[in-house]
Structure 1
Amino acid sequence: MNDLTVRGALDDRAYPAYTMSAAADLAGVTPAFLRGLGNHGLISPGRSSGGQRHYSRAELDLARRVHEVTATGVSLAAACRIVELEGHLAAARAEIHALREQLPTQHTRQAV
């Protein structure tokens, strides 16, 4: 990988750039917490040729959000589901917004 490719990969939020210990430190959680997120299917860390887990910035954001939800007393399984549904809701809202942008304006509809 050349310097430009490496910089591009690091700019990619989905690029698995962080080892488990670095990811746990950055997300403010324990390695066991990150493994739990994987066990519940919320994240799927990349693997090195030696089998070491590597996490992306997007996965770290999910870990932080799940940690916030579990801090309110919700179980890890429920927090993972809540965060997953929050993601679906955000995607649906973005799609609705994009579709509304494609609609003709009220003025244009009246002129037709």
Structure 2
Amino acid sequence: MGDVVLADLWCHQVEGVLIEDALLDGEFVIVRARAVADQAGCPGCGVASSRVHSGYVRRLADREAGGRRVVIELRVRRFRCREQQCPRATFVEQITGLTFRYGRRSRRLV
């Protein structure tokens, strides 16, 4: 099964996410994706920031696709808040319709 077919089968297309790869690994479909927005809003003060501090990969469980369990490996970035009075120095971008703070599942499983 080709990567394009797997990406279509996953069909969890959300704005701000680029699917880089989709592959079969035994009983799993692994979807590798990354956030592509230029900036993110701080959840503490609401100010948008484009200053990237660091990044990491989140592993999220998602609904089955093609009879296999789906794991999303989503590369997200941690941003620095630009507002000096904000109690948050850094924050992680959230993808609307896909992620939520501290979540290990996609919004489709909540």
TM class, shorter-chain normalised?
Answer: under 0.3
Normalized per residue, which structure has more helix?
1
What TM-score, normalized by structure 2, do the two folds share? 0.27
Normalized per residue, which structure has more strand?
2
What TM-score, normalized by structure 1, do the two folds share? 0.27
Larger Rg, first or second structure (1 or 2): 1
